[in-house]
Amino acid sequence: MLEHLIDNYGYIAIVIGTFLEGETVLILGGIAAKLDYLKLPWVIFYAFIGTLCGDQLFFLLGRFHGQSLLNKRPSWQKRVEKVNRIIEQHPTLIILGFRFLYGLRNITPFVLGMSQIAIIKFAILNIISAALWAVIIGSLGYAFGHGLELMLGDIKRYEVAILGITLISGVFIWFIHQFRDSKQQK
């Protein structure tokens, strides 16, 4: 059952998951590659496509609809101000590194779009950053699966538990982050 789902929907899940957020999905993709359900190069490729398209879309939304969206969602204001301060100090570095900053990942390309950064500059740096992120996080997931295999032996016996624990951990971290953000916005 699990093997069938991963075979049929694994790469699609990686594209969609990395388009929206990504880390947990990509780590799970790396583990699935270690379990031989998926191929690591394709996991990395589809993660690259998903994250690149998602962040480019959020940048363009910020560029062309940023202020109107911000007016409709005043709760975003504090996060936008925080990201703006970082962008003012290190614009190139933030474009290359925002994917690695949990909690700022979705808002940052939106805010970058609202800034004076040229679309072409963002696009080029976004391609570089998306490639680095996909390779690093996908490889970490694969290495995590390898480490589990060294500790547990045949990890295929534990695959449902491993994938479930990883998924639950990612969702738990996401909920903690959302709760913390909602408290900070009040």
Q: pLDDT digit of tens for each residue in the chain (186 aa)? A: 566 777 778 899 899 989 987 788 898 899 889 888 899 999 999 999 999 999 999 999 999 998 888 888 887 777 788 888 888 888 999 999 988 877 677 788 998 999 989 999 999 999 999 999 999 999 999 998 888 777 766 666 666 676 677 667 767 766 776 676 666 655
Helix (H, G, I), strand (E, B) or coil at 73: coil
Question: Cα–Cα distance between 149 and 106 in angstroms, integer?
Answer: 33
pTM of the model: 0.79
CB–CB of 112/5 below 8 Å? no
Place of tokens 């992120």: 133
